Amino acid sequence: MTKIAILCDSDPFTKPRPSRMIEMLEGHYDLYVFGKGVATGKEGIRIFSFPNSKSAAQRTAQEEEELRNLCRQREFAPLIFTPNRLVLQSRLMAVEGLEILIVEDITLLPFAVEYKERYGSCKIVIDLREFYPLEYENDRGWQESFGLFFEYLCGTYLPYVDWALSVSEGLIAKYKEVFGLECELFLSLPPLYDLHPQINSHLELVYHGLISPDRESENLLQIASLLNKGIYLNLMVLSNQDWFLQEFKKEAQKRSNVRILEPVKLEEIIPRTNAFDLGLITLQNNGFNNTNALPNKFFEYIQARLGVISTPLPCVRAMIEEYQIGVVSEDYAPLSVAKMVNALSGERVLDYKRRAHQVSATLSLKANQVKILSRIKALLEEGK
């Protein structure tokens, strides 16, 4: 059976796109999964775990400044070949005969390129979930340090890629414009769940996922304070910045129409949120990646048979209008979002939920599986 490796700079089983890539390929190919700090195995898949490293939040100020100085001096090797990734490098190079390497994080692309140069015949696929050189574009210090690092990774290693995937048309256009890279749209579609729209006596909103200052996530609480009586906002939130999460929860407790839900495992998010009515997307147009986002949660809301309420992100707006499964606010202000929610009738909300149910199979993992299996087959045939 053809050997395929998936390289992930985190635990792939806890991240939507890597975990679903594994699910789509499982049983069709001999899978080798390389992940950071992988907690659990999976029958029939070879798991190669390499150690965790300190996150930005865990690094001391001195450690952070040392890394930034390396970036400013354009000494990028120490940022690529970190001690924990040297473990990955050793384990990857020891596996002969891999025909396709699927890179889920651009920080691991150099190792895929090294493998390709050593063994010659393999193909490289990369999943580009952000335009990485602009990931924190509003942070000047980041842009003048780590931004240079990601620009280097893209410029140096993307030319070796045989097939690039990305999450939205906006990102696809940007990679073409800046790096001359052709990408293919690959939506973040979840598995199909056997669910039906639920009927509630009052309107229940939900938001699940990461919150952070750069996402201006405090706008969720501002929206809640502007909702009509009898409309509730349920929040299942995580954050990479614990101080922000704790402050957010503290503020949320002051609002009687806000409930904080305990986070659940990735595969439990959709059935857990099926009880609600409308899923919220509140990203702002405060940077390239946010403006051009088409988030995982958009498709997870649909799979949970919810209508979708969103700020006017271009890619999200296009899909909401195509499938008629929700409504987009006039602008990005919390007041605009709240006014839109307050104006919705119960029948209109139920109609959005019914439409989400109708397109749930179309916008599910099966559609992506057909695409990925066909494309990988073509890549393998190119090498013969």
Amino acid letter, residue 146 = F
Residues 6+ apart with CB under 8 A from 267: 191
Among 47-56, 94-103, 312-321, the minimum mean pLDDT is found in 47-56
Fold of the CATH domain 3-188+365-382: Rossmann fold (3.40.50)
3-class secondary-structure state, position 287: coil
Q: How confident is the model at residue 51 (pLDDT cuts 50, 70, 90)?
A: very high
- The full set of domain ranges for the chain reads 3-188+365-382, 203-359
CATH class for the domain made up of 203-359: alpha beta
For 88-124, the pLDDT digits (tens) are 999 999 999 999 999 999 999 999 999 999 998 899 9
18 contacts: CB under 8 Å, gap ≥ 6: 6, 8, 10, 12, 35, 104, 127
316 — pLDDT class (breaks 50, 70, 90): very high
* Complete DSSP assignment for 127-162: EE-S-GGGTTTT-HHHHTTHHHHHHHHHHHHGGG-S
Do residues 129 and 164 make contact, with C-beta atoms less than 8 angstroms apart?
Answer: no
Looking at residues 167-174, what average pLDDT do you find?
97
353-369 pLDDT, tens digit each? 999 999 999 999 999 99
**What values do phi and psi take at 183, rounded to 5?**
-115, 160
Q: What percent of the chain has pLDDT over 90?
A: 93
Q: Which pLDDT does position 364 carry in this prediction?
A: 97
pLDDT (tens digit per residue) in 25-47 = 999 999 999 999 998 778 889 99
Q: State residue 26's pLDDT score.
A: 96
Q: Tell me if domain 3-188+365-382 and domain 203-359 are identical in fold.
A: yes
Query: Token digits for 247?
Result: 């402050």
User: What mean pLDDT, rounded, does the chain reach?
Assistant: 96
Residue 383 pLDDT exceeds 70: no
User: Is 90 exceeded by the pLDDT of residue 57?
Assistant: no
Query: What is the band of 244 on the pLDDT scale with cuts at 50, 70, 90?
Result: very high
Q: Which of 27-41, 270-284, 313-327 has the lowest mean pLDDT?
A: 27-41
Residue carrying the six token digits 């029939």: 44
- Using pLDDT thresholds of 50, 70 and 90, give the confidence band for residue 382: confident
What would the mean pLDDT of 141-153 be, rounded to a whole number? 98
pLDDT of residue 81 exceeding 80, the answer is: yes
Whether the pLDDT of residue 384 is over 80: the answer is no
Closest listed residue to residue 304, CA positions, set 279, 323, 337: 279
Question: How far is residue 131 CA from its own chain's centroid?
Answer: 12
Question: Rounded to 5 degrees, what are φ and ψ at 173?
Answer: -65, -40
